[in-house]
Amino acid sequence: MRLLERMRKEWFMIGIVLAIAGAKLEPSMGVNGGPLMPEITVSYIAVATIFFNSGLSLNTEELTSALVHIKLHLFIQIFTLAFFPAAIWLLLQLLSITPINEWLLKGLQTVGCMPPPVSSAVILTKAVGGNEVSHRANFV
């Protein structure tokens, strides 16, 4: 009975190990154009399912109350979409007079103008004990 309890507790890790073992035994299942069609299932269905399941874990009342914090949302949006790109632009102006490769600077400019990925931002916010509900409300 102890083994069964342990398996129930560790079901996710067991599933990962089984999926990896299955992929090792039959790699043709997961190739593009294969039976699992990863070009569709991974790109669209899996990502949507992950975000949907993550959203189900939110308390509706907390999310609703977080939506009214207009100043917080404005701060996050302005910091992410205006201040940070402007700071990167200033850094690039300084770095442009150095012998750093031009394409490296263009790459830094591109990354500096992109907002952080929602998935990793939510995970990191949760990991440090931040206000996950207010953070997610910015992406609703």
What are the structural domain ranges in the chain? Answer: 1-57, 60-139
pLDDT at 87 > cutoff 60 = yes
Of 38-47, 61-70, 88-97, which gets the smallest average pLDDT?
Answer: 61-70
Q: Which tokens go with 118?
A: 């929602």
Q: Which residues contact 72 (CB under 8 A, 6 or more apart)?
A: 134
Separation in Å, CA 103 to CA 6, 88, 113, 131: 52, 15, 16, 37
Confidence of residue 17 (pLDDT cuts 50, 70, 90): very high
What percent of the chain clears pLDDT 70, i.e. is strictly above it?
A: 86
- Using pLDDT thresholds of 50, 70 and 90, give the confidence band for residue 39: confident
Radius of gyration of the chain (CA): 21
d(CA 46, CA 43): 7
* Range name among 30-39, 49-58, 76-85 with the lowest pLDDT average: 49-58
